[in-house]
A = this chain, B = another copy of it.
Amino acid sequence: MDLFGMLNLDELSHGLSSLSMFPYFDMAHYIVSVMALREQPGALELSRRSPFACWFSSMLFCFGGAVLSSMMLAEPPIAPLSNGTSVLLASIFWYLVFYCPLDLVYCTAALLPLRLVLTGMKEVTRTWKVLGGVLMAHGKYQDSLLVMITIGWAKGAGGGLISNFEQLVRGVWKPETNELLKMSYPTKITLIGAVLFALQHTNYLPLQKHHLMLIYTVFTVVNKTRMMLTGSSVSPFAVIESAVHETLFARGSSPYAALPADDTSTASTNGAACQHSPATANGEEKGSPKAKGQGEGEKRSPKAKGQGEGEKGSPKAKGQGEKKTD
């Protein structure tokens, strides 16, 4: 790509791609991850009540991606523990962030300027992790783009994807929320990175690896810094996302046909109509009577209620919920 040549970015991208994450960037990753854990509700009491669960939870924050991608490829999920140095480093930062006298370490690292630097460095490690995942998958499934994307994503955003089980370690259980239901910004940006690196690796993307690494790293760091400074959690893809969502996934208006409102209503009523009648027929596929029982159970159980409120939380779901379900 000549642009890089013109801007003399070639050697810069080469320098970046030959950068070693160990030890400084890894350390930044560990400290930022442990701080993220500490800022979870209830984490501080946990650190007093049962330090071991707190330590294990921190390790999942630091090495969740490696654990998840290993499991997906049927490689030992215990592997990260075999790298003594990393575990030792992560454990030291876990201890300092949670138990340092006068809370010095946490308060220092939490100062905005320092935090900006640390978070920026953590974002850099994301590039390496995603790329590592893509290569790892390519080693086992040469020709499968989908697997490369999934593993790259899992390795880069593992901590978030397994958050339900990481919370379970801390005795917290929030089944109504997970990263697949509502992706957080890091999960999204990692997914995009995984797609890009997988496309590059299979030569669908006419870019050299080190150029892509530079572009992606700069984008993530700049964007993350912007979000921290403005304190806004608006993802830069919000517009595209909603556009795609409207085009593809809004019932009744699909690429194949644009429908006036009344048609849509008919559609939805059709939907309701042809939803009920056969439910009894095929319901057995997943145990229709049981499902009914569960339905009632749902209405009774407060958790389900909480979920209901959660749904109401998102106005779209609410509107459709009223239209389609009642």
Chain A positions near chain B (C-beta within 8 angstroms):
32-33, 35-36, 38-42, 44-53, 56, 70-78, 81-82, 84, 87, 95, 99-103, 106-107, 110-112, 115, 119, 137, 140-141, 144-147, 150-151, 160, 163-164, 168-178, 180-186, 224, 227-228, 231, 233, 245, 248-254, 256-257, 259, 263, 266-268, 270-271, 273-275, 277-291, 293-295, 297-298, 300-303, 306-307, 309-311, 313-314, 316-317, 320-321, 324-325
Q: A180-B169, A282-B36, A307-B171 given as contacts; is B271 within 8 A of A44 (CB)?
A: yes
Taking each of A78, A183, A248, which has the highest tally of chain B beta carbons within 10 Å of its own beta carbon? Answer: A78
Contacts of A289 in B (CB 8 A): 233
Determine whether the beta carbon of B248 is less than 8 Å from that of A99: yes
* Choice from B40, B119, B281, B307 contacting A291 with Cβ under 8 Å: B40
Contacts of A180 in B (CB 8 A): 50, 52-53, 56, 169
Oligomer copy total: 3
* Choice from B45, B78, B228, B285 contacting A186 with Cβ under 8 Å: B285
Determine whether the beta carbon of A103 is less than 8 Å from that of B270: yes
Contacts of A151 in B (CB 8 A): 78
Determine whether the beta carbon of A175 is less than 8 Å from that of B173: yes
Determine whether the beta carbon of A171 is less than 8 Å from that of B112: no
Determine whether the beta carbon of B168 is less than 8 Å from that of A175: yes
